[in-house]
Amino acid sequence: MMNKLTARAASLALAGLMGTTMISGALAQEETIKVGILHSLSGTMAISETTLKDAMLMLIDEQNKKGGILGKKLEAVVVDPASDWPLFAEKARELIEVNKVDAVFGCWTSVSRKSVLPVFEELNSLLFYPVQYEGEESQRNVFYTGAAPNQQAIPAVDYLMNEEGVERWVLAGTDYVYPRTTNKILEAYLKAKGVAEEDIMINYTPFGHSDWQTIVSDIKAFGSAGKKTAVVSTINGDANVPFYKELGNAGIKAEDIPVVAFSVGEEELAGLDTAPLVGHLAAWNYFQSADTDVNAEFIDTWQAFIGDEERVTNDPMEAHYIGFNMWVKAVEAAGTTDPDAVIDSIVGVSVPNLTGGLSSMMPNHHITKPVLIGEIQEDGQFETVWETPGLVVGDAWSDYLEGSKDLISDWRAPMSCGNFNVKTGKCGGSEG
Partner 1 sequence: MSLARSLFALLGLVFLLGVQGQSVQAQENLDALRPLVNNLAKGKYDETQRQVEALVASGDPVVVPTLKALRAGDLYVRKADGEVFIATKGGKGYLLIDPLTTENAGEAGRRDVSKIKVNNRLRRVIDASMGSLTLMAADPKVRLAAAEAVFKAGDPEGLEPLEAALQKETDDDVRLVMEQARAAALLNSDRGDSDKLEAIETIASIGNRDALSLLIGVRDSTEGALQEAAAAAITKIEKSLAMWGNAQNIWYGISLGSVLLLAAIGLAITFGVMGVINMAHGEMVMIGAYVTFVVQELIRNSAPWLFDYSLFIALPLAFLISGSIGVAVERGIIRWLYGRPLETLLATWGLSLILQQAIRSLFGPTNQQVGNPEWMSGAFELGQLTITYNRMWIIVFALLVFAGLMLVLKKTPFGLFTRAVTQNRRMAASMGIRTPWIDALTFGLGSGIAGIAGVALSQIDNVSPNLGQGYIIDSFMVVVFGGVGNLWGTLVGAMTLGVVNKFLEPYAGAVLGKIFVLVFIILFIQKRPRGLFALKGRAVEA
For residues 263 and 347, give the distance between their C-alpha atoms in angstroms, rounded to a whole number. 28
Spatial contact of 69 and 33, defined as CB atoms under 8 Å apart: yes
DSSP 85-126: HHHHHHHHHIIIIIS--SEEEE--SHHHHHHHHHHHHHHT--
Binding track, positions 380-399, relative to partner 1; x by CB under 8 A: ---x-xx-------------
Spatial contact of 219 and 186, defined as CB atoms under 8 Å apart: no
Of residues 226 and 414, the one with the C-beta less far from partner 1: 226
3-state secondary structure of 144: strand
3-state secondary structure of 261: strand
Indicate which single residue of 54, 136, 238, 338 sits in contact with partner 1 (rule: CB under 8 A).
Answer: 238
Assess 271 for contact with partner 1 (CB under 8 A). yes
Give the shortest CB-155-to-partner 1 separation in angstroms: 15
Instruction: Give residues 148-167 in contact with partner 1 (rule: CB under 8 A).
Output: 163-165
Phi, psi (degrees; rounded to nearest 5) at 47: -55, -40
Binding track, positions 185-224, relative to partner 1; x by CB under 8 A: ------------------xxxx-xxxx-xxx-xx-xx--x
Angle between helix 46-65 and 293-306 (nearest 10) = 110
Of residues 29 and 213, the one with the C-beta less far from partner 1: 213
Phi, psi (degrees; rounded to nearest 5) at 231: -110, 130
Other beta carbons within 10 angstroms of residue 140's beta carbon come to 18
For residues 178 and 266, give the distance between their C-alpha atoms in angstroms, rounded to a whole number. 20
Indicate which single residue of 94, 134, 338, 375 sits in contact with partner 1 (rule: CB under 8 A).
Answer: 375
Residues in binding contact with partner 1, number by CB under 8 A: 52
Indicate which single residue of 18, 24, 31, 44 sits in contact with partner 1 (rule: CB under 8 A).
Answer: 44
**Of 2-10, 23-31, 269-277, 319-327, which segment contacts partner 1 by CB under 8 A?**
269-277
Residue 377 is given by DSSP the state P
Instruction: Give residues 164-183 in contact with partner 1 (rule: CB under 8 A).
Output: 164-165, 175
For residues 249 and 217, give the distance between their C-alpha atoms in angstroms, rounded to a whole number. 11
Indicate which single residue of 18, 46, 201, 333 sits in contact with partner 1 (rule: CB under 8 A).
Answer: 46
DSSP 350-367: EEE-TTSSEEEB-TTSBB
Assess 29 for contact with partner 1 (CB under 8 A). no
Of residues 219 and 417, the one with the C-beta less far from partner 1: 219
**Of 245-253, 326-334, 352-360, 403-411, which segment contacts partner 1 by CB under 8 A?**
245-253
Assess 279 for contact with partner 1 (CB under 8 A). yes
Note the residues at the interface with partner 1 (CB under 8 A): 41-42, 44, 46-47, 50, 163-165, 175, 203-206, 208-211, 213-215, 217-218, 220-221, 224-226, 238, 241-242, 245-246, 248-251, 254-255, 258, 267-268, 270-273, 279, 281, 375, 383, 385-386
